[in-house]
Amino acid sequence: MIKACSPIAVISTFAVCLLQGSYSCAQASGSIQGERKPAGIYLAPNEQHPAVALPIYLKSNHGVYVSVGTERSFMGAALTRAQALVIIDYDPQAIQFANINRALLSASEDRADYVDLRLWASPDTWQQRAQSLLGEDKATLLAASSWTFWNQKVRQNTWAWGNAFQHFNTEPKQPNDPFFACDYLFDDHLYEHLSQLAKTSLILARLLDLRHQDEVRFLCAELQSRRLVLGVVDTSDVPSGSEAGTSVASTYIQVFSTYAVNSTLFLNTAPAKKTGVFWSYFAFTNSVIRGHNAATIKRWYDIELDKIRANDQLLALLDDPDAVVH
């Protein structure tokens, strides 16, 4: 299995109280114009070959990984060696997943222990292990509803999105295997990075609506006040979720761009032409985005989405000249 690059120093002063305000976000593969899917529909990771995006991940500045979705957030933060992870989503079940997963990572002693807590441990074991935690993580593992939710939505939900969780729970050994080079259940380096983030209160999960510019600004201002640099803003396929998707994306990206550094990456994904759980990835650096109006950014996104839909190959596009020269 491909191992991630060596860990970077982790900032340990990320306050647990960050973003106490409640938001509500466009989820990975979610729609935009009031067509929200049923809660929990995207809990299982429907992008089963995220290694396609490794050429983009490796360009990260290792700053905060801000992401919609569930496992894509944790994998992205691990692969980019992010200094912190902030999960944002409109779906409360995605946020519940993130909070429970953070608590399990924080309570775990090593990767094997985490896998046991995640896949097999009883409610009594969760409650016993909660005694070693503090605050929200402790409350999360003590709540019987947390174990029930996890048992139903993660452990038993192995069929959704092409058997996604079943594949995630199986060690990838070949490049074509689902989650090859990205599955922290089977990679010590990836697990250890996420565990360290969890144990130092550097993983947060909050409801947020990307259509609301004031909420995006507040998020950015909170991160900036703690001198945390935006590394990757990963909004999955929000731009392609509906006809208005690229318009919405161009607006919230302009807001993020104001607070971002030149090396910040704005990452997205779109379903590939080939059928199944295959996705291509594209990203723009803030040095390219900054200074352009929403209409220009929307045009770039439309170009990338059209290119991906027409291509039989899985793509990882960064500052694609076919887009940014238009």
169 Rama class: left (phi>0) / alpha (psi -120 to 50) / beta: alpha
Greater confidence (227 vs 96) lies with 96
Burial 211-230 (b: 16+ CB within 10 A, else e): beeebbeebbebbeeeebbb
The band of 26, judged by pLDDT with boundaries at 50, 70 and 90, is very low
Residue 31's pLDDT is 39
Greater confidence (17 vs 171) lies with 171
> ∠ CA(78), CA(80), CA(81), 5° rounding?
65
**264: in domain:** yes
**15: in domain:** no
**16: in domain:** no
**96: in domain:** yes
CA–CA separation, 25 and 30 (whole Å): 9
**2: in domain:** no
Residue 239's pLDDT is 81
Helix axes 92-107, 71-79, angle to 10 degrees: 50
**10: in domain:** no
User: Per residue in 113-157, pLDDT tens?
Assistant: 999 999 999 999 999 999 999 999 999 999 999 999 999 999 999
Number of domains comprising the chain: 1
Q: Domain residues for 193?
A: 50-324
Residue 33's pLDDT is 42
Residue 7's pLDDT is 31
